[in-house]
Chains A and B, each alone.
Chain A
Amino acid sequence: MAMDRETLLRFLENRLGVDRAEVDDETPLFSSGLVDSVALAELIVYVEKESGVSFQSEDITLDHLDTLGRILRFVATRHGG
């Protein structure tokens, strides 16, 4: 299953209230306080559904989830890409 940059960005915009003009691939979302930590659960559920990748507890780190680029890279790694 594919989750491209645009779908993810649209989710951030429509569901998490992120202004797309404000973020690039390396903008910290959670550690910066831009997105509230409670929204992380929502993001994970979305990414799992869209990409078919499932998160184990050890995978749920800011290293994998704090920026648009990190999320896309994590999903790509899991897809063997």
Chain B
Amino acid sequence: MHADGVVHRVAQHAVSRGSKIAVCEWDRGSPKETPYSELYREALRFAAFFSQQDPASSIVPLLAGKSAAAIAAMLGAMISGRPFCFLNPKYRGPQVAAVLRATRASVCALDSTGIVSIRGWVPNLAGQRALKWLWLDDEDPAGIAKQTFAELRSMGSVALHGELEPAPESEAMFKSPAEIGACLFTSGSSGEPKGVLVSTDDLVARTEAEVQWFGLSGSDVLLSILPFSFDVGLNQLLSALYVGAELVVLKSWLPADILAAVQDRSVTGISAVPAIWQDFLRSGLRFDTLGPRASLRYVTVSGGSLPPHVLGKLGGVVGRAGIFKTYGQTEAFRTTSLRPEELDAKPESVGKAFPGVRFYVVNENGSPCRPREVGEIVHTGLGVMRGYLGNRDLTAEEKRKLQPNPFRGAEDPSPWAVFTGDLGFVDEDGYLYLKGRRDSMAKIQGNRVYPLEVTAQLLAVPGVDDAVVLGFPRPEGDAVLVAFVVAARGSAPSAGWIRKELNLRLPSYMIPQRTVFVDSIPRTATGKPDENFLREHATEVARNAEAP
């Protein structure tokens, strides 16, 4: 029995301070508050339902927006000894079908947000095994959800949250936890999402590490902007529940909404990705961290890096709140983090090892690199995944991802290591710096070029609002660097002007040969540039350019 597990903590909060707000679904004027006692009660109802409906103890997919009901369903899965998996809200029918197939789910939770993902696709889900749907909302579906809901009903069984039996508030409801606690889906190079398996023990350990790192307590109020399908968003949720804090969930990603929610709920901590902070800088809005109602204590820059000159301006937005940079990936959770007090001295670094983690930078022969020598980052300890879900064929990259820990010994007992595929180096003080993806490195005129480095310089060019640089390998000869550029509002930099500016900042072999202007950089749900989309787009642009 995991007496220190997240659900046991929630059970304790429900008893010792049941009226404390656990979840606030924020909306201007009409926030919906759910106290710990109610969250726990609903979790037990869901647990009873899962135990009854799913004798196989399969993974419970949660195709739902961020709500108290969805969180209670997650806790219900945990209580009933089942792994859970939140689905990326951007998924559509084919990806949802792939997840349902891979998880062999017999129950899937759904709400008015999640149902948007499968509209027009229900007939294609008929091939699944008999799947039970659990409708999480209190209200019957309205508007756009109505027709899809009717289709689901006619196809199979749909249980309504409001009609579930009440469950006894007893620890007897708790089943021994599954070895696997959660499954996180991430985009796979094969085109189908792949499930990353996280053990229950590791899920608890990451939560405790985050609580320690950010100094969280029951008096914190955390703002949730990121989806729970993303490891950073999920861990923020688990940490808030663990300490009995309030989690304010936001449907919006817009600066003015974030600012209003922070003021309204006295938010103390925000986890966010670079794209959100870039929007903030463009908006000119800033947090009040000095006035009598100031509450914000820390923010994170997770899931990607902000170029140094942009990071420098972020201080003006967050005032006295501390900025934590974090670096990680789904297969290893969090490798490093840079503390606010280190930011001035090491602004370009992503920091040192996260609690419970060890990392190594290794060269092509697998030996540790010297300081400032670029190599692949290898992660051991906390956060290492259990492997990928299912028994499909792994790609070469997936096969090399999880390997026996080559550095295993008295100092590092971790049996497995994640080969991140990320390149970086450590400085003389042990701080890590990122240099892009292993597979993104391009050889140009005999030089190693890291597109991330070019992107950083491109973003510093006046008139460039957003940008990403990708290397396109060619069957013969050097790779071609292509810059995707979003022009700032009210300015129209030409490709020639950008090239001229880059000439002042970069060696000639690092200057992109082609510039493609786009309205916006498409990003994945985790805020990373959608490289696959951009690669296709570039091919299309090239084709059109060749047309007469």
- For the complex, what is the distance from the CA of A27 to the CA of B435, rounded to whole Å? 43
User: Is A6 engaged at the interface, CB distance under 8 Å to the other chain?
Assistant: no
Q: Which of B89, B255, B257, B285 contacts A33 (CB 8 A)?
A: B89
Q: Which residues of B contact A14 (CB under 8 A)?
A: none
CB distance from B140 to the nearest CB of A (A): 15
CB distance from B339 to the nearest CB of A (A): 30
Whether the Cβ atoms of B112 and A61 lie closer than 8 Å is no
Bin chain B's interface residue count.
20 to 34
Q: Which of A26, A27, A60 contacts B283 (CB 8 A)?
A: A60
CB distance from A16 to the nearest CB of B (A): 12
Whether the Cβ atoms of B144 and A58 lie closer than 8 Å is no
Q: Which residues of A contact B488 (CB under 8 A)?
A: none
Whether the Cβ atoms of A38 and B255 lie closer than 8 Å is no
Known contacts A31-B251, A36-B90, A38-B523; decide if A61 and B256 are in contact (CB<8 Å).
yes
User: Is A34 engaged at the interface, CB distance under 8 Å to the other chain?
Assistant: yes
Q: Which residues of B contact A38 (CB under 8 A)?
A: 520, 522-523
- For the complex, what is the distance from the CA of A60 to the CA of B104, rounded to whole Å? 42
Q: Which residues of B contact A76 (CB under 8 A)?
A: none
Whether the Cβ atoms of B284 and A42 lie closer than 8 Å is no
Q: Which residues of A contact B116 (CB under 8 A)?
A: 32-34
Q: Quick one: which of A6-33 are within 8 Å of B by CB?
A: 22-24, 26-27, 30-33
Q: Which residues of B contact A41 (CB under 8 A)?
A: 519-520
CB distance from A78 to the nearest CB of B (A): 16
Q: Which residues of A contact B517 (CB under 8 A)?
A: none
- For the complex, what is the distance from the CA of A81 to the CA of B83, rounded to whole Å? 53
Q: Which of A23, A40, A59 contacts B256 (CB 8 A)?
A: A59
CB distance from B343 to the nearest CB of A (A): 25
User: Is B28 engaged at the interface, CB distance under 8 Å to the other chain?
Assistant: yes
Known contacts A38-B522, A61-B260; decide if A33 and B113 are in contact (CB<8 Å).
yes
Whether the Cβ atoms of A32 and B256 lie closer than 8 Å is no
Residue of A nearest to B227 (CB): A33
Q: CB-CB contacts of A26-70 with B at 8 A, as 1s and 0s?
A: 110011111011101110000000000000011111110000000
Q: Which residues of A contact B523 (CB under 8 A)?
A: 38
Whether the Cβ atoms of A57 and B283 lie closer than 8 Å is yes
Q: Which residues of A contact B255 (CB under 8 A)?
A: 57, 60
Whether the Cβ atoms of A32 and B144 lie closer than 8 Å is yes
Bin chain A's interface residue count.
20 to 34
Whether the Cβ atoms of B28 and A61 lie closer than 8 Å is yes
- For the complex, what is the distance from the CA of A42 to the CA of B520, rounded to whole Å? 9
CB distance from A18 to the nearest CB of B (A): 10
Most chain A CB atoms below 10 A, which of B89, B112, B256: B256
Whether the Cβ atoms of A32 and B112 lie closer than 8 Å is yes
CB distance from A44 to the nearest CB of B (A): 10
Residue of A nearest to B283 (CB): A57
Whether the Cβ atoms of A60 and B256 lie closer than 8 Å is yes
CB distance from A6 to the nearest CB of B (A): 19
Q: Quick one: which of B62-93 are within 8 Å of A by CB?
A: 65, 89-90
Known contacts A33-B113, A38-B520, A41-B519; decide if A58 and B256 are in contact (CB<8 Å).
yes
User: Is B431 engaged at the interface, CB distance under 8 Å to the other chain?
Assistant: no
Q: Which residues of B contact A24 (CB under 8 A)?
A: 143
Whether the Cβ atoms of A27 and B144 lie closer than 8 Å is yes
Known contacts A24-B143, A33-B113, A34-B144; decide if A62 and B285 are in contact (CB<8 Å).
no
- For the complex, what is the distance from the CA of A32 to the CA of B65, rounded to whole Å? 8
Q: Which residues of A contact B257 (CB under 8 A)?
A: 61-63
Whether the Cβ atoms of A61 and B252 lie closer than 8 Å is yes
User: Is B253 engaged at the interface, CB distance under 8 Å to the other chain?
Assistant: yes
Q: Which residues of A contact B519 (CB under 8 A)?
A: 41-42
User: Is B290 engaged at the interface, CB distance under 8 Å to the other chain?
Assistant: no
- For the complex, what is the distance from the CA of A57 to the CA of B282, rounded to whole Å? 9
Whether the Cβ atoms of A61 and B144 lie closer than 8 Å is no
Q: Which residues of A contact B130 (CB under 8 A)?
A: none
Q: Which residues of A contact B112 (CB under 8 A)?
A: 32
- For the complex, what is the distance from the CA of A26 to the CA of B283, rounded to whole Å? 27
Known contacts A33-B113, A33-B116, A34-B116; decide if A62 and B143 are in contact (CB<8 Å).
no
Whether the Cβ atoms of A57 and B113 lie closer than 8 Å is no
Q: Quick one: which of B486-526 are within 8 Å of A by CB?
A: 519-520, 522-523
21 residue pairs from A and B, CB less than 8 Å apart: A23-B143, A23-B144, A27-B143, A31-B65, A31-B251, A31-B252, A32-B113, A33-B113, A33-B116, A34-B116, A36-B90, A37-B253, A57-B256, A57-B283, A57-B284, A58-B256, A60-B254, A60-B255, A61-B257, A61-B260, A62-B257
9 A-B pairs with the lowest CB-CB distances in the bound complex, closest first: A57-B283, A31-B251, A62-B252, A38-B520, A61-B256, A33-B89, A22-B144, A27-B143, A63-B28
Extra 20 A-B pairs, beta carbons < 8 Å, given A57-B283, A57-B285: A23-B143, A23-B144, A24-B143, A27-B144, A31-B65, A31-B251, A32-B116, A32-B144, A33-B113, A38-B522, A41-B519, A57-B256, A58-B285, A60-B254, A60-B256, A60-B283, A61-B254, A61-B257, A62-B251, A63-B257
Q: Which residues of B contact A (CB under 8 A)?
A: 28, 65, 89-90, 112-113, 116-117, 119, 143-144, 251-257, 260, 283-285, 519-520, 522-523
Q: Which residues of A contact B (CB under 8 A)?
A: 22-24, 26-27, 30-34, 36-38, 40-42, 57-63
